[in-house]
Each structure stands twice: as structure tokens, then as C-alpha cells.
Chains A and B, each alone.
Chain A
């Protein structure tokens, strides 16, 4: 089973708008990562935020982390059609007695031209 939950499961917006996706997790973490997956492809690493960081930026991406609420958000500003993909959060939590990367179920983002 997966420990992360993304919200919403699906999001459809117009090109140029901002997209916000949320991720909640259950156990304490060392870091949280966001990945993107285009249809039929492997995952691409977007950004990593450590547990002692609250916000991180990379280009049009902004990630926040609230360890007290065990949640993170990914904001994509000025969205483009090429941003259409599924987005997953992943935590390196100690889970079931072993360190492993645990993914959420993902948010399917559609950018309409």
C-alpha cells in the first residue's frame, strides 16, 4: 500500500493558469520529492525538499513542506500544454521497517490550450 495521498486526483486548467497539487503522508520523513510522468514514459525527478526546509523553487515550480501537517504542495505557475502529465510525490520514510521511496497515487494534470 502507498502512504502518500495526492489531491486532487485529476486537475484540468487553461494554459497560463497556475496549477496546485497537494500531497499528504503518514510517517516522519527525511525528504520529499516530486516526480512527473508523461503518458507511457518513466518518471522524471522535478524537485527534492528536505524535512528542515519549508519552501523551494525551481523555475516555474514552487514546493512547500509542512512537516507538522505532514503535507506538501506543488505549484506550477504559468502552465503550458507541455506540463500535461501525472505528478507524484514520494517520501523516503521508514515504512514497514525498511527505508524505501514511497509514492502517492498521483495527480493527473491536463493543460487545455
Chain B
């Protein structure tokens, strides 16, 4: 079956530009997570959805970051007025529920110039 997909795979943005990153989770997965991974580091939690409800957004680094999952399936992570420090790989993961086995997408590599 299809795994988690993310688009675009690569994104180059000029500083100040808004970007939108898409995640298609595995069908039927209730939980969806966004992570940010800097080069050479482990993923860092950004936000968590259970169905359409955003239950935890404590990891979002600033109010420039916004995530939504309006119909409880596809999710979009939006970054407004991108800064160079936003350059990272953004990973999406889904699971049947909660914090057990998570299935990761390939990530979106964002480079802000």
C-alpha cells in the first residue's frame, strides 16, 4: 500500500517568501506529526494532529509557522516570511494512534536563500 508522501521534495525560497509543504498520510491513520530536522541532527517535534484537531503545537518555533489538517487527512505546514534559519528537512509522519510506530514520509528539503 501507499506510504506517507510529501511534496514538494525540494523547495528553494528567497528570504521573506511564504512556503507551503504538503503531507499525505497513510489512509486511515488518525495521528499526524510534523518534525524539523537540521543537518546532522535528529528530528525535532513541531506539531501533532489527531484527526483534524491540532492537539499539540508546542514545537512550532515561531508564529510564522502554521499547520492545518482541515479534513483529518492531508496536512499542510505553512511557513510565512521564511528566514535562513528555517532551512531544514521537514518530515511528516502518521500513525494509527498516538506515539507508537510512526511511518515517515521522505521529507521536504527547504533551502532559504
| A-to-B contact residues, CB < 8 Å | 2, 4, 30-31, 33, 35, 40-45, 48, 88, 90, 92, 96-106
Contacts and interface: CB of A to CB of B under 8 A. Distances in A.
B42 A106 contact: yes
Interface of B: 4, 33, 35, 40-45, 48, 56, 58-59, 91, 93, 98-107
Contacts of B4: 42
A interface, over-half SS? strand
* Nearest 8 A/B pairs, CB to CB: A42-B104, A103-B42, A92-B99, A43-B104, A100-B45, A42-B106, A45-B101, A103-B43
Contacts, number: 64
B42 A42 contact: no
A68 to B, nearest CB: 22
Nearest to B45: A100
B99 A100 contact: yes
B42 A98 contact: no
A112 to B, nearest CB: 21
A25 to B, nearest CB: 12
A43 B43 contact: yes
